[in-house]
A and B are shown apart, each in its own frame.
Chain A
Amino acid sequence: MNLTPVFVNIFAIGCLVLSFVKDKQKTKQAVKIAVKMFINILPTLLLIVVLVGLLLGFVPHAIISKFMGDQSGIVGIFVSALLGAILYIPSIVAFPLAASFLKAGASITTVAIFITTLTMIGFVTLPLEIKELGKKIALLRNGVSILLAILIGVIIGAIL
């Protein structure tokens, strides 16, 4: 059995008690943030539940392996890097999705690239980044991040 949820829940409850003892008002605020976040993320979470069902129940193993599997090579790297850069999914629900991709036949390399570009790069948020930090820094950061994500994925794939 996976012990991570047990540990995380105990940790969260510990924080709750500690926070409550220190400052009731702040604790209330924190719980409010969490509840609001849960409500906001709920549709995406349910969407992922349905998509994972579709992915594992309908999409043939062969197709996933062809585009994201061990033999997918450069195609797999580009598909996963691009997918991660374009999509805008909160990372806490992206990890379960990524795990399902692994189950469906994707390689560790492509999944690692997908997660890394998904979190580090945002095509959706790029205009805002340019506005706040200037074109040079924003474009450099996003561009270099794509290369780094690919490098990270390839290294992880080689080691694991």
Chain B
Amino acid sequence: MKQSQKLKQRKEIIKSWLFFVASLAFTILLLLIFPDRQTAVLKSSWQIFMEMIVILPAVMLLIGFFAVWVPNEMVVKLLGKTSGIKGIGLSLLFGALPTGPLYIAFPLSAALISKGARVSNIVIFLSAWACIKIPQEMVELQFLGVRFMALRLGLTIIFVIIMGVFIEQIVEPKATQKGKK
């Protein structure tokens, strides 16, 4: 399983390189045909490159720290048995803290379900994992500004909680009743 995933990832990376080379060749060709656009294109590319390179290495380092210091087993252990507001809060937090691609979060969530975690918490955990990552939010802050970032983050948190409760109602209405007692 792990081996095949690694192979798949390698294939993806090779594909990305091919995409890059193809688009670079295409751009060079276009620029040869339309030399008057050279300054606009080069300036935009250079600017975005500089903006990314001053922040991305630091963000990746932070992602590395989170991955090492917040082990997944700890997350499963703590989330498996909590419910109510505390469960929602922990699901959000533990979704936002550890890092890794979404496909790591699916087996984790499956483990959580088998440990008896509530559906609402699983959905909140998964969604937080997908879109509320602390290092990533710093990148959003830099490129889209504090108002955009804060507003989108706040709205996402609210809606993700609502969605979790809503999906739980549909999937297992009885469990919610039990949870309320």
Contacts and interface: CB of A to CB of B under 8 A. Distances in A.
Are A and B part of the same complex?
Answer: yes
Interface of A: 2, 4-5, 7-9, 11-13, 15-16, 19, 26-27, 29-34, 37-38, 40-41, 43-58, 91-93, 95-96, 98-100, 102, 108, 111-112, 115-116, 119-120, 122, 125, 128-129, 131-133, 136-137, 140-141, 144-145, 148, 151-152, 155-156, 159-160
B136 interface: yes
A156 B131 CA distance: 16
Nearest to B30: A58
Contacts of B44: 52-53, 55-57, 100
Interface of B: 9, 13, 16-17, 19-20, 23-24, 27, 30, 34, 37, 40-42, 44-45, 48-49, 51-52, 54-65, 67-69, 102-103, 106-107, 109-110, 113, 119, 122-123, 126-127, 130-131, 133, 135-136, 138-144, 147-148, 151-152, 155-156, 159-160, 163, 166-167, 170-171
A13 B20 CA distance: 31
A145 B56 contact: no
A48 B102 CA distance: 21
Given A47-B16, A95-B139, A141-B127, A5 B148 contact: no
- Helix, strand, loop or mixed for chain B's interface? helix
Contacts of B42: 53
29 contacts: A4-B142, A9-B54, A12-B58, A19-B69, A27-B68, A29-B68, A33-B64, A40-B9, A41-B56, A48-B52, A50-B20, A51-B23, A52-B44, A58-B30, A95-B144, A96-B48, A115-B140, A116-B156, A120-B131, A129-B106, A132-B106, A133-B109, A133-B122, A141-B123, A144-B163, A144-B166, A148-B159, A148-B160, A156-B151
B63 A44 contact: no
Contact of A125 (B13, B103, B151): B103
A148 B163 contact: yes
Contacts of A131: 106
A79 B33 CA distance: 30
Contacts of B58: 5, 8-9, 11-13
Candidate in A5, A15, A46, A160 with the most chain B CB atoms within 10 angstroms: A5
Contacts of B16: 43-44, 47
B47 to A, nearest CB: 8
Contact of B151 (A111, A133, A159): A159
B96 to A, nearest CB: 12
Contacts, number: 221
Contact of B63 (A4, A34, A43, A111): A34
Nearest to A52: B48
Contacts of A50: 20, 23-24, 27, 45
Nearest to B14: A43
A160 to B, nearest CB: 6
Given A50-B24, A137-B123, A122 B167 contact: no
Nearest to B23: A50
B144 to A, nearest CB: 6
Contacts of A52: 44-45, 48
A26 B123 CA distance: 30
